[in-house]
Amino acid sequence: MNPIDRRKFLMQVAAGASALTLARFVGAEEAKPDLDPNDAYAMAMGFVTDTANADAEKFPKHSADQSCANCQLFQGPDGAEKGPCSFFGGRQVPATGWCRNFKPKNAA
């Protein structure tokens, strides 16, 4: 390989590595932190990490079969222990959780 070919080759390798690094950076989605049940907004929404602990007096429409796992806004895969909630900006909520914004998955 003559010096010019080698320089061209090295520049192409460097450009390729930069492109890969950029693609990895752009494609990376860091998981958001868990939603803190003591967060003021979470509390205002009645968020609990276990649907069994929802306040029945404040939320009379709550039922035990409602949980984050079967809410439209839960973005975790089926069977996941926790996943992002789009209502809370992608913060992680447990599949067993609940809040007053619960929307059943099969509702229109």
* Whole-number Cα distances in Å, 2 to 14, 68, 78: 18, 63, 57
User: Which phi-psi region, left, alpha or beta, contains residue 89 (left: φ > 0; alpha: ψ -120 to 50)?
Assistant: left
101 token code pair: 């914004």
Residue from the set 62, 68, 82, 92 that interacts with ligand SF4 by CB under 6 A: 68
Taken in order 76, 79, 82, 86, the sign of the CA dihedral is positive
Closer to ligand SF4 by Cβ: residue 59 or 101: 101
Closer to ligand SF4 by Cβ: residue 17 or 76: 76
Residue from the set 54, 71, 82, 92 that interacts with ligand SF4 by CB under 6 A: 71
Report if residue 95 touches ligand SF4, rule: CB under 6 A: no
Contact residues for ligand SF4 (CB under 6 A)?
47, 68, 71, 73-74, 85, 87-88, 93, 97-99, 101-102
